[in-house]
Amino acid sequence: MQKAITLFSINILILLLSCNQEVNVDLPSYNGKIVVDGWIEQDGYAKVLLTKSAPYFGKLDSIALRELVLTRAKVSVSDGETTEVLTLHPNPDYFPPLLYSGYQLKGEIGKTYQLTIEYARQKITAETSIPIPPKVEKIWFETDPKEPEKGMIWASISNDPAQTNYYRIFTQTIGLEQKYFPIAFPNYSDQSFNGQNRNIPLYPGTSNTMSSHPKENYSLEDTVLIKICTMDRMAFEYWEDFQQEMINSKNPFATSNTTLNSNIQGDALGIWCGYGAHYSRITTTRQSEN
Amino acid sequence: MKNYLNIIKYSLFLLLFNFFHCNAQNIFQLSGTVKDSQTGSSLPGAHILINKTKGTTTNSKGEFHIQLPAGEIKVQVSFMGYHPYQKEITLERKVELTVDLHPISLEQEEIVVKARRDNHNISSAETGFQRLKASEIEQLPTFLGSPDPIKALQYTPGIQSVGEGNAGIYVRGGTPGQNLILLDQMPLHNPSHLLGIYSVFNSLSIQNLNLIKGGIPAQYGGKLSSVIEVNTPASSENRVSFAGNIGTLSSAGVIKGKTQNERGFFLLSARRTHLDLIKSLLIEPLSKNSSRFFRETNYHFNDIYAKYSYCIGTKDRITAQYFFSSDHYKYCKEPLSNKMNWDNWAGALIWTHQTSSNFSYKSILSYTSHCMDMTSFFEDYEFLLGSRLHTLNHKLEFLLNTANHQMRYGWELVYNNTVPEKVKTIMPDINYQDQDELNSAEANLYFNDEMNLLPKLKLNAGFRLHRILHVGPYKQFAEDETGKRLETKSYSKYKIVKGYNFFEPRISFSYQLRPNQSIKASYTENNQNFHLAEVGSVSLPTDIWTSSTEDLPPEKARQFTLGYYHNFANNNFETSTEIYYKKLTNQIELKESVVLKMEKEIFEDQFYMGEGRAYGFEFFIKKKTGRFTGWLGYSLSKSQKRIPEINQGKYYNTKYDRRHDLSLTLNYNHNSKWSYSAAFVYATGNTMTLPVGRYIIQGNIVNDYGKINAFRMPAYHRLDLSAKYQVVKKKQFESFWTFALYNVYGRSNPYFIYFSAKGDLDNYKLDVKAKQISLFPILPSISWNFKF
């Protein structure tokens, strides 16, 4: 549905873009804020990427981008009993390619995790929890009647009717991608299907929204890793806002002007997110089902 | 000698006696013709009253004859829909009268109840009042060949000139949903075409346009910011007449006339775009980049208005009205297709009864609806977004005129059915549909008295008792701590969910300092059941209309206006200077955007609620007669909002906050063939919220936004020119060409500014550019107009 509306809005925009020109805009001076992109899932260690935000029109080449990376912060994670200080090490799969990671404290289902970041006399905190992972009933592949060599992967999830569950879904195509990427419309809450099974099409995602056009289907013989996660409400609201922002920031027919709804406390941006993850794998054949 | 004198006295006595005696016995004929002062057409069925004791009516030719004894007589002539006429004459021979009655015209009755004098703007107690006549609207430069009455209104102070692509009417810091728009007393909800670029009013059928933005009298209610009355003619000079306009964007026609017995009047107007026909000729050469778009796009709009009124006897008139406008937009490029349709329709039945020359009443039963449907198909996916707004309204108003009072009182009953959002999604394996529906009822009792307290002091005072009821069917929900939606209470049909009561005082006065100078002041309170939440940065048919509920209480406005009015040069120049302060409460703002979440939320949770304030200074000068006519309007204003969840609960400027807003219109009648006009608009740029910083999350660039609406777009300014060439001007036939240039110096006025990020973080390259979208470059247009 979102896709349809987005396409409609873009369609109207084409009319407008015929009189499109570049302009100079004077923006007020800007002091960079700490940006947190951190997560923890069950049986996994905490991982945190730390950067600073940049002025909107600042020059962003390789040097400037590297300068945005925070390498001298003290990052610690606590489950209320144990506290671990994360260590920084390189990881080329991420941007920035320097990741704060834990080695002792593993995520556990139902536990709450406190993140503390200390940098240049500034202290930032955030809290998240790891919900029960989703119950994935089945995953299957359906070929496209118009393009028999391609198709869509589907996942069916059931949920606990006693509470509202929030989901975020990632995929990774082996041989094409080095890590998991969120699918095209990755966030769901079960408000509309509470207590029922829900079949979700896993539109392939992209590494970032600046990529040209995302592929719309999977090819036959793709091996795809699928990660379906549950998360808490704060995390869901952040990712929903994030999604809206990605779609709406260029659309005059939409409202896009608010800072994302974050769980980070202090003068900082970003998200600290706990995932209850369910992993599966599928190789797309004409009759494949996991 | 004495006898001689006695004879003379006696003779004189006899003479005088005979004279008076003969006079008392003499019967003379009083005859006459009663005509419409504007059109000159005769008025059959007019009521003639002599000394309040004897009377007659005019025949089918508008003539009357009555035999009366000689002497001083008082003649009163009254006719439905006209100002009464009164004259004292001495009847000493046969007398013929020609009585020109000035039409009240039922449609303009609200405002033009008094015969307008040249200094009406000085003497009346109205504040914040503007009237535009059809001739003034016609003279203004046109946009794509057709004059637009609402665009003309935006040239006056206090109405923000919001620029292209937005027919939203923003009056003194109010939103487009806060204007009571009446077409011949029928309310309309969303009167715009072409994504808001055009209004639905066909200028050919319009007689005049009235705007009240200051002291709104008590007979109007339900909207906070203004009353806009669009009036069409109520009588016709000719048996049948036709006027038409063939323009570059659309063509329009209107036919009007009277029935054979001259008791009935009819009007039918229609308009349709032929953009689909001329796009390849005009638009494609101007916008080369968009040629493909126009091949794949189809768009047209049309509107139709019909009314018929009939006089039954001398005291009653029945009028039936029907209005319909629709827009159809279609974009089709495999595998995507989009359709968007929106329409307005309204109907009314008006009965007016003139009990006596100073007492009348009218009953208006009207129904109006606004519907919008947007459908998108993409391969196996279908998405539908729609909204509905239906209103049934009955108004009964009594009008009593005495020497120093003009009283209006009555009731207004309203029932509203609203579907703010209707969503349907069909995807493989998913079939989701949902709609919210709200019902509400309103009851109003009102009283208004326009008084002449002293020769120089006029007072217009009244009140409105306003009750708003939210009625079932309705389900109340609440969220638990996990965000789960729980139904807490269910209401059956017509069961009252929540009721609100309001007392709305309305008062305004004028004090005439000199015959050509006055000061005026007004204070009004209004409450509004409906909220309009604007989805994007421009006013669109997709905007959400919702009636009040317990969590969305009705909107309220309090406004104070103070003004000084001065006419010069024998009323040829009119000036007005006004200051105002307006306080608004229970204003809503949409949290999310047009991209709706499929996950169902509690309807009312989609909105923020806060308050607003607007204050400003307005100046207006108008030259009314001569070869050069025109006006200059200037507003200095501020409009702000405060919402607890936004901007840390502090006041911020609204989207259409304009510090300066200037409009200049000039018309020059060169000779009987050529006339020229020009319009210039300058306005401070719209406010916007812009990103001040950016950051990276999961490889994506995310904006860090600055303070809300802290940035201003470049100023908006534009000059339009037009020339009119009169080919023929005869009583039977008139024809003229209009040549217009819109945006003469090709100003790229900003419609929207956005930022485009290109690059690849993996390769450490990123390029961000600010881009501005402008709608219309210089646009020439030509239209042929004719009347016969």
Write the DSSP string, B611-650. EEEEEEEEEEEEE-SSSEEEEEEEEEEEEEEE-TTSGGG-
The answer to whether residue B112 scores a pLDDT higher than 50 is no
Report, as an integer, the average pLDDT of B392-398: 95
Per-residue pLDDT, A7: 40
DSSP string, A35-78: EEEEEEEBTSEEEEEEEE-EETTS-BSHHHHHHTB--S-EEEEE
What percent of chain B shows pLDDT beyond 70?
Answer: 83
Query: Are the CB atoms for B787 and B236 separated by under 8 Å?
Result: no
The answer to whether residue A10 scores a pLDDT higher than 60 is no
> Which of A252-261, B436-445, B478-487, B749-758 has the highest mean predicted lDDT (pLDDT)?
B436-445
Report, as an integer, the average pLDDT of A79-84: 92
The answer to whether residue A278 scores a pLDDT higher than 90 is yes
Q: Inter-chain contact A208–B701, Cβ cutoff 8 Å? A: yes
Higher pLDDT, A187 or A23: A187
Lowest mean pLDDT among A212-221, B34-43, B178-187: A212-221
Per-residue pLDDT, B437: 86
Per-residue pLDDT, B163: 64
Higher pLDDT, B46 or B641: B641
C-alpha distances out from residue B721 to B56, B142, B620, B621, Å: 54, 8, 21, 20
Matching residue, tokens 């002449």: B452
Lowest mean pLDDT among B13-17, B95-99, B129-133, B525-529: B13-17
Smallest Cβ distance to B590: which of A199, A251, A255? A255
Q: Is A232 on the interface with B (CB under 8 A)?
A: no
Chain A: closest CA distance from residue B336 (Å): 8
Chain B: closest CA distance from residue A246 (Å): 8
Q: Inter-chain contact B376–A260, Cβ cutoff 8 Å? A: no
DSSP string, B167-235: ----BTT--GGGEEEEETTEEES--EEGGGTEES--GGG--EEEEE-SS--TT--S-SSEEEEEE--S-
The answer to whether residue A12 scores a pLDDT higher than 50 is no
The answer to whether residue B391 scores a pLDDT higher than 80 is yes
Q: Is B19 on the interface with A (CB under 8 A)?
A: no
Per-residue pLDDT, A184: 80
Query: Are the CB atoms for B520 and B134 separated by under 8 Å?
Result: no
Q: How far apart are alpha carbons B271 and B146 in whole angstroms?
A: 10
Which residues in chain A (126-145) have CB-CB distances under 8 A to chain B?
A: none
Q: Is B693 on the interface with A (CB under 8 A)?
A: yes
The answer to whether residue B24 scores a pLDDT higher than 70 is no
Give the residue from A3, A60, A185 with the most B CB atoms within 10 Å of its CB, the best one to mutate: A60
Per-residue pLDDT, A118: 94
Q: How far apart are alpha carbons A56 and B65 in whole angstroms?
A: 86
Q: How far apart are alpha carbons B65 and B62 in whole angstroms?
A: 11
Give the residue from A93, A190, A257, A269 with the most B CB atoms within 10 Å of its CB, the best one to mutate: A257
Smallest Cβ distance to A14: which of B293, B696, B760? B293
Chain A: closest CA distance from residue B692 (Å): 5
Query: Are the CB atoms for B419 and B473 separated by under 8 Å?
Result: no
- pLDDT level of residue B484 (50, 70, 90 thresholds): low
Q: Is A97 on the interface with B (CB under 8 A)?
A: no
Smallest Cβ distance to A35: which of B340, B696, B710? B696
Q: What is the pLDDT of residues B727-746, one digit of tens each?
A: 888 877 888 888 888 888 88
Per-residue pLDDT, B379: 67
Q: How far apart are alpha carbons B407 and B133 in whole angstroms?
A: 26
Mean confidence (pLDDT) of chain B: 81
Give the residue from B334, B702, B762, B776 with the most A CB atoms within 10 Å of its CB, the best one to mutate: B702
Per-residue pLDDT, B332: 74
Smallest Cβ distance to A192: which of B340, B381, B598? B598
Per-residue pLDDT, B763: 61
Report, as an integer, the average pLDDT of A38-42: 95
Contacts of A229 in chain B (CB under 8 A): none
Smallest Cβ distance to A244: which of B289, B592, B754? B592
The answer to whether residue A226 scores a pLDDT higher than 90 is yes
Query: Are the CB atoms for B179 and B171 separated by under 8 Å?
Result: yes
Q: Is A212 on the interface with B (CB under 8 A)?
A: no
What percent of chain A shows pLDDT beyond 90?
Answer: 37
Chain A: closest CA distance from residue B529 (Å): 24
> Which of A238-252, B111-125, B158-172, B612-626 has the highest mean predicted lDDT (pLDDT)?
B612-626
Chain A: closest CA distance from residue B778 (Å): 12
Q: Inter-chain contact B293–A246, Cβ cutoff 8 Å? A: no
Q: How far apart are alpha carbons B614 and B663 in whole angstroms?
A: 20
Contacts of B425 in chain A (CB under 8 A): 1, 4
Q: Give the dihedral sign, CA B486/B489/B494/B496.
A: negative
Per-residue pLDDT, B35: 83
Report, as an integer, the average pLDDT of B167-187: 86
Q: Of B464, B560, B472, B457, which is closest to residue B512 (Cα–Cα)? A: B457
Q: Which token pair is A117?
A: 């970041």
Q: Which token pair is A266?
A: 């202090």
**H or E element: which one contains B527?**
strand B517-528
Q: Is B762 on the interface with A (CB under 8 A)?
A: yes
> Which of B89-93, B261-265, B632-636 has the highest mean predicted lDDT (pLDDT)?
B632-636
Q: Inter-chain contact B704–A33, Cβ cutoff 8 Å? A: yes
Per-residue pLDDT, B594: 41
Q: Inter-chain contact B775–A4, Cβ cutoff 8 Å? A: no
Which residues in chain B (191-220) have CB-CB distances under 8 A to chain A?
A: 195
Higher pLDDT, B443 or B692: B443
Chain A: closest CA distance from residue B105 (Å): 42
The answer to whether residue B155 scores a pLDDT higher than 90 is no
Per-residue pLDDT, B278: 61
Report, as an integer, the average pLDDT of B165-183: 83
The answer to whether residue B187 scores a pLDDT higher than 70 is yes
The answer to whether residue B780 scores a pLDDT higher than 70 is yes
Per-residue pLDDT, A16: 43
Q: Give the dihedral sign, CA B448/B452/B457/B458.
A: positive
Give the residue from B166, B331, B599 with the most A CB atoms within 10 Å of its CB, the best one to mutate: B599
Q: Inter-chain contact B599–A188, Cβ cutoff 8 Å? A: yes
Residue of B nearest to A27 (CA): B692
Per-residue pLDDT, B248: 72
Q: Is A210 on the interface with B (CB under 8 A)?
A: yes
Number of residue pairs across A and B with CB atoms under 8 Å?
Answer: 263
Chain A: closest CA distance from residue B771 (Å): 4
Q: How far apart are alpha carbons A84 and A103 in whole angstroms?
A: 8
The answer to whether residue A105 scores a pLDDT higher than 80 is yes
Q: What is the pLDDT of residues B491-527, one digit of tens each?
A: 989 999 999 999 999 999 999 998 889 999 999 999 9
- pLDDT level of residue A146 (50, 70, 90 thresholds): confident
Which residues in chain B (566-595) have CB-CB distances under 8 A to chain A?
A: 590, 592-595
Query: Residue A5: left (phi > 0), alpha (psi -120 to 50), or beta?
Result: alpha
Per-residue pLDDT, B88: 82
Decide: helix, strand or coil at residue B605. Answer: helix
The answer to whether residue A97 scores a pLDDT higher than 90 is no
Per-residue pLDDT, B586: 93
Smallest Cβ distance to A56: which of B485, B692, B772? B692
Give the residue from B698, B743, B756, B762 with the most A CB atoms within 10 Å of its CB, the best one to mutate: B698
Q: Inter-chain contact B381–A246, Cβ cutoff 8 Å? A: no
Q: What is the pLDDT of residues B449-466, one digit of tens each?
A: 989 888 889 999 999 999
Report, as an integer, the average pLDDT of B283-294: 51
∠ CA(B689), CA(B693), CA(B695), 5° rounding? Answer: 125
Q: How far apart are alpha carbons B472 and A249 in whole angstroms?
A: 38
Mean confidence (pLDDT) of chain A: 81
Which residues in chain A (52-91) have CB-CB distances under 8 A to chain B?
A: 52-57, 60-62, 65-66, 68
Chain A: closest CA distance from residue B635 (Å): 26
Quote the longest CA-to-CA distance of chain B. 140
Q: How many CB atoms lie within 10 A of CB B666?
A: 18
Chain B: closest CA distance from residue A240 (Å): 9
Smallest Cβ distance to A35: which of B340, B695, B775? B695
Contacts of A1 in chain B (CB under 8 A): 381, 383, 423, 425, 427, 432, 596, 598
Query: Are the CB atoms for B80 and B354 separated by under 8 Å?
Result: yes
- pLDDT level of residue B651 (50, 70, 90 thresholds): very high
Higher pLDDT, B615 or B710: B615
Query: Are the CB atoms for A48 and A114 separated by under 8 Å?
Result: no
Per-residue pLDDT, A42: 94
- pLDDT level of residue B19 (50, 70, 90 thresholds): very low
Q: Is A12 on the interface with B (CB under 8 A)?
A: yes
What percent of chain A shows pLDDT beyond 70?
Answer: 78
ipTM of the modeled complex = 0.85
Q: How far apart are alpha carbons B690 and B706 in whole angstroms?
A: 6
